[in-house]
Structure 1
C-alpha cells in the first residue's frame, strides 16, 4: 500500500509479514509513526484476499 498523492512516503508490502520500503528508492526502511493502523489494514485485506 502506498500514498497515491505522496510518492516519496514509505510504502507497505505485506506478505507473511509487513515490510516498509522507501517510496523513492524501494529500499527497506523503518515503519513510519502512522504505520501501525496501516499494517492492521494490510493484514485484514490480505486475510480477505486469501480466504476469497
Structure 2
C-alpha cells in the first residue's frame, strides 16, 4: 500500500514560504492559462499584436 502525500496543512514550511515568497505554483498556473488562451486565439486567427512586458 502506498502512503498518502502530506496535506498542505501539515507542511508549515510550505505555508511559510508562500507568505514570504508568494505562491509561485499558482502564478505559473495563471500564466499558463493566459498563454493557452492567447495561443487558441492565434490559431483561430483572431489574436491581437503581442504586448511587451519588459521594461526598457
Normalised by the size of structure 1, how large is the TM-score? 0.37
Which protein is richer in strand relative to its size? 1
Q: Which has the higher contact order (CA 8 A, sep 6+)?
A: 1
Normalised by the size of structure 2, how large is the TM-score? 0.35
Which protein is richer in helix relative to its size? 2
